[in-house]
Amino acid sequence: MTLEEMTAQMQSRVAEKGAIDGKTVKFDFGDNGKLMIDGTVDPAVVNNDDSDADCTVSVDLDVFEAIASGEENAQMAFMSGKLKVDGDMGIAMQLGSILG
């Protein structure tokens, strides 16, 4: 899945399930780009900006896709080092409501 397709999918999920109110989350896919969820505005915005965030999740795009599709468990990805969190860990723990 491309970054553009993943961004569109996340826009749909955030529109349906909501974002983490008052918080920003950035998914850093390295050379493949970024995906930003801004829950500080209503409605929440999903884009590919590289802005500061309350929580940054660094993960390969293919691992993110596997987590988003339910093929891989986010906690196991974190424990195995496939997913790294910088910033507010509490926000990262709430991401299941968006990804799941």
Q: Which pLDDT belongs to residue 1?
A: 85
Q: How does the average pLDDT of the chain come out, rounded?
A: 93
How far, in Å, CA of 72 to CA of 21, rounded? 26
| pTM greater than 0.75 | yes
Look at the domain 3-94 and name its fold: Nonspecific Lipid-transfer Protein; Chain A (3.30.1050)
* Phi-psi domain of 59 (left: phi exceeds 0; alpha: psi -120 through 50; beta: other): beta
Q: Which pLDDT belongs to residue 96?
A: 80
Domain ranges of the chain: 3-94
Summarised one tens digit per residue, pLDDT across range 58-97 is 999 999 999 988 999 989 999 999 999 999 999 988 888 7
Residue 25 phi/psi, 5-degree rounding, is -130, 135
Answer yes or no: are the C-beta atoms of 82 and 45 closer than 8 Å: no
Q: Which of 3-7, 30-34, 41-45, 96-100 comes out lowest in average pLDDT?
A: 96-100
